[in-house]
Amino acid sequence: MGIFNFFKKGLKKTKEGFFGKAISILKGGLDAEKLEEIEELLLLADVGPETSNYIVENLRKKKGEPIEILKSTLFELLGENEELSFSQQPPTVYTLVGVNGSGKTTTAGKLAWKFKKEGKRVSLAAADTFRAAAIEQLKEWGKRANVPVIAHQMGADAGAVAYDAVNHAISNNIDVTIIDTAGRLHTKDNLMRELEKVHKVIKKLREDQPTEVLMVLDATIGQNAIQQARIFNESVGITGIVLTKLDGTAKGGMVFSIKKELGIPVKLVGVGEGIEDLKKFDANEFVNAILE
């Protein structure tokens, strides 16, 4: 399936929830009442007050076809696509962070499968030591992708798992090692400190790592994701967002708020349960899929 069709299928609820209605309103020209209606729809789609206001002001001030103004504004908000980065000197280390239930372990497995398919040497690390199920789930992904999984016992020190994983990657010429960390509430200071420790341990072995700190966000939670990402970013410095469950929400508008309010690019999106339903984010195709 092409990326446009992938987005179109996965973003059906988002389109029906806001953008389809907005297009109908914009086709009839603009007045103050319609702009107010557009802003209300934006807020319902979880675009957020600041970003909604920015979009409405562009529609109010710019001259031209309203639908084209909306499209160009959405492109501008998302900016240029940003690919996943790789270290010049292997291994490239990725850490996956986020709250409980966002889809980190599944994302780690799908990423491993994707990189393995591309011919890279890959390993996984089960640094979510709070949940026995997370360790077992990651081991299953390891079998599926045919990659090694570095794991300790449940309750083990997450920093020790990360240390062993990076050491293993260095010793075994691994191209990419993906570290799955435990879900934690952004409001729990002690758990955030533990996450910082995991990253410090990695830097002891390789000062330039991790190459990517990817925050996995559940798109169905809408604007709450912005506050989560803000605190995780302050703690460990997020380099990119992985948005999961976009197919299950009408609130995909939060994609625009993330970039505008936090300056963090969305790098990957998940719209489905399948092993191939994790794709690199393409702003152009994303906007076209919700507007056409």
Q: Which domains does the chain have, with CATH numbers?
A: 3-78 (1.20.120.140), 92-282 (3.40.50.300)
What are the tens digits of pLDDT across the range 242-254? 988 877 666 677 8
- How far, CA to CA in Å, does 95 sit from each of 24, 98, 209? 42, 10, 10
pLDDT value, residue 15: 64
Query: Could you tell me which residues come within 8 angstroms of residue 1 by beta carbon, excluding any fewer than 6 positions away?
Result: 9
Res. 197: pLDDT tops 80: yes
111 pLDDT tier (thresholds 50, 70, 90): very high
Rounded Cα–Cα distance for residues 240 and 213 (Å): 7
Rounded Cα–Cα distance for residues 137 and 106 (Å): 8
Strand partners, 123: 177
150 φ, ψ to 5°? Answer: -90, 120
What are the tens digits of pLDDT across the range 57-93? 999 999 889 989 999 999 999 999 999 999 999 999 9
What does the block give as tokens for 200? Answer: 């410090």
Query: Could you tell me which residues come within 8 angstroms of residue 263 by beta carbon, excluding any fewer than 6 positions away?
Result: none
- Is residue 281 classed as helix, strand or coil in its secondary structure? coil
What does the block give as tokens for 240? Answer: 């990119």
Rounded Cα–Cα distance for residues 102 and 241 (Å): 12
- How far, CA to CA in Å, does 209 sit from each of 51, 86, 170, 204, 227? 33, 10, 12, 9, 25
- Is residue 266 classed as helix, strand or coil in its secondary structure? strand
Res. 159: pLDDT tops 70: yes
